[in-house]
Amino acid sequence: MQPTVAAPESVTWKIHLDRSMWVAGVRALMLQALHPVAMQGVWQRSDFRSDPTGRLLRTAHFVAVTTYGSPDEAERLGARVRRVHRALRFRDPVTGRGHRVDEHDLLVWVHCAEVSSYLETTHRAGLALTAREMDRYVDERARAAVYVGLDPDDVPRDVAQMRRYLASVRPELRVTPEARRAVRFLLWPAVPDRLSWLAPLKPLWFPVGALAYAALPGWARRAYGVLPERPGRARRPPPRCAPCARA
């Protein structure tokens, strides 16, 4: 049998096979939107508003191939992603500065938002993970960062490093009008004409989006202010067992 990128006994398989990963994936997008420069890249150069289903499926496909695919399959997909990203440029409307989608700091932020969201959400959903397994997961995903053009040592290799990174980037994060619109879109996405037959099922999506929103750090929910806080929740500290609670 051809080897896969991550071994079946890896923590990556344990986490990525959990049913809460759909919620975790949406939580990652909501968290990523808090980086104003990264959000502009998505807003200006992504088709998520015109083809939300395609965007989510492509993201899910990338995670699946870099988890369960062969090394050759993962590298081919990674090369295609890197080639597309190299060609994409956007401009920050606040500073006027031009950016590339594949800038190092932006890739690191996207990676960390995804990995911390997958780990945090599945753990809080009830997946039993030891502290050692959490560290192993962060390290396993660091090795997969090569597919987007990063070196494993460019990103956190354990939970402690992930927490330090998230704390260091926190001052840069804020809710822009685009970020708030993106979150509203993720809670109640438009259905493309070609998928109009799915429109009656759209209310079934809202619980997924609402769970993802509820899984965000309290400061992020309060900043977004899109959904009301449950009474008493805003004053409650995050669970001590939460692996990336400082996000």
Report the pLDDT value the prediction gives residue 1, as an integer from 0 to 100.
45
**Per-residue model confidence (pLDDT) at position 121:** 98
Average pLDDT, the chain: 89
Q: Rounded to whole angstroms, how far apart are CA atoms 15 and 137?
A: 8
The answer to whether 243 and 136 are in contact (CB under 8 A) is no
C-alpha R_g of the chain: 18
pLDDT at 143: 94
Summarize the confidence of residues 16-44 as an average pLDDT. Answer: 95
- Residue 23 neighbours by CB under 8 Å, 6+ apart: 121, 125, 208, 211, 212, 215
Q: Are the C-beta atoms of 35 and 178 separated by less than 8 Å? A: no
Whole-Å CA distances, 119 to 116, 135, 227: 5, 10, 23
What's the DSSP call for residue 108? H
**Distances from the Cα of 116 to the Cα of 21, 43, 135, 152, 163, angstroms:** 12, 22, 11, 16, 9
Domain definitions of the chain by residue range: 11-235
pLDDT at residue 203, as a whole number: 79
| Statement: residue 130 has pLDDT above 50 | yes
- Give the model's pLDDT for residue 245: 64
Residue 198 has a pLDDT of 64
Q: Please state, in angstroms and rounded to a whole number, the distance separating the CA atoms of residues 26 and 30.
A: 6
Q: Residue 2: pLDDT band by 50, 70, 90 thresholds?
A: low
Return the minimum-mean-pLDDT range out of 47-56, 92-101, 119-128, 190-199.
190-199
Query: Which of 10-19, 63-72, 184-193, 211-220 is least confident?
Result: 184-193
**Could you give the percent of the chain with pLDDT greater than 70?**
85
- The pLDDT tens digits for 145-196 are 999 999 999 999 999 999 999 999 999 999 999 999 999 989 987 766 666 6
pTM of model > 0.85: yes
